[in-house]
Amino acid sequence: MKFGVVIFPGSNCDQDAYYAVRDVLKQPVEYIWHQETDVSGFDCVILPGGFSYGDYLRTGAVARFSPVMNAVQEFSDNGGRVLGICNGFQILCEAHLVPGALIPNNTLRFRCKYVNVRAENTTSDYSHKCAKGQVLKIPIAHHGGQYYCDPDTLKALEDNNRVLLRYCDPAGNVTDAANPNGSMNAIAGILNDRGNVAGMMPHPERAIEPILGSADGRFILQSIVERLEGCKV
């Protein structure tokens, strides 16, 4: 089993994701340079957070055209697992690997803080370690994290259990006050229709050890590890 962490110019959570996989989860991991054209040797590819190409245009709009994204597309078409975190989620949306868009926060400001998210789908490769409705404490750090899509897409996401995480209060209630960016249906993370590609705005790699304030991010990342190992369902 091998994880890959893509480095786009301007990625800045690449080293954090790498550290979380290698040093905390103790799993093999390698960096993938944005000019790579083949990622088939990996089992899970992580698109990390950051400001790819500066994100001076729309977030993720330039990165989706980098060579590695063709390879990631092919990889996911073949059923490979792809996790996009924050800027990685934005890139996945731009590349149409997951539906919808991430528009500027309704506060119009960057927000960095711990939030609570409720595990909705608890059978996916990215969440089967969570109990149904389990509340995870995981931080966000973004300016453009408001999830938006058309009504049909939203219905498809909800009807097919493709909402992975939803912003909530500490008790698990979905409220306007607990929604940090105005996302539709308080969506914090989603799956593609096959369930092998996931995008999320919260940073599980930041909530990876108690010293950082929470280790709840392990529920996400360890889900992937165990699914890849095939040892637990």
Q: Look-up: residue for tokens 């975190």? A: 85
Give 3's contacts (C-beta < 8 A, 6+ positions apart).
21, 27, 28, 29, 30, 42, 43, 44, 45, 46
Cross-strand partners of 46: 5, 83
Cross-strand partners of 111: 142
CA dist 112 and 188 (Å) reads 14
Give the strand order in the sheet containing 111-119.
Answer: 29-33, 3-7, 44-47, 81-85, 197-200, 187-191, 163-168, 111-119, 135-142
Q: Look-up: residue for tokens 């096959």? A: 194
CA dist 164 and 209 (Å) reads 22
Please identify which residue in 43, 45, 47, 53 interacts with another protein, judged by CB under 8 A: 53
Please identify which residue in 131, 177, 211, 233 interacts with another protein, judged by CB under 8 A: 211
Give yes or no for residue 212 binding another protein (CB under 8 A): yes
Alpha helices in the chain (DSSP H): 14-19, 67-77, 87-94, 151-159, 217-229
**15 or 222: whose CB is closer to another protein?**
15
Q: Which position among 13, 44, 86, 168 bears the catalytic label? A: 86
Give 225's contacts (C-beta < 8 A, 6+ positions apart).
1, 25, 27
Give yes or no for residue 205 binding another protein (CB under 8 A): yes
Give yes or no for residue 109 binding another protein (CB under 8 A): yes
Q: Which of residues 128-167 bind another protein (CB under 8 A)?
A: 139, 141, 143
Give yes or no for residue 170 binding another protein (CB under 8 A): no
Give yes or no for residue 206 binding another protein (CB under 8 A): yes
Residue 158 known to be catalytic: no
Provide the minimum distance between the beta carbon of 230 and another protein in the complex, in angstroms, as a whole number. Answer: 29
Q: Which position among 44, 130, 149, 205 bears the catalytic label? A: 205
Residue 203 known to be catalytic: yes
Give yes or no for residue 67 binding another protein (CB under 8 A): no
Give yes or no for residue 113 binding another protein (CB under 8 A): yes
Give yes or no for residue 221 binding another protein (CB under 8 A): no
Give yes or no for residue 15 binding another protein (CB under 8 A): yes
Provide the minimum distance between the beta carbon of 205 and another protein in the complex, in angstroms, as a whole number. Answer: 7
Give yes or no for residue 104 binding another protein (CB under 8 A): no
Residues contributing to the site for another protein (CB under 8 A): 9-10, 12-13, 15-16, 19-20, 49-51, 53-56, 109-113, 139, 141, 143, 203, 205-206, 208-209, 211-213
Q: Which residues are catalytic?
A: 86, 203, 205
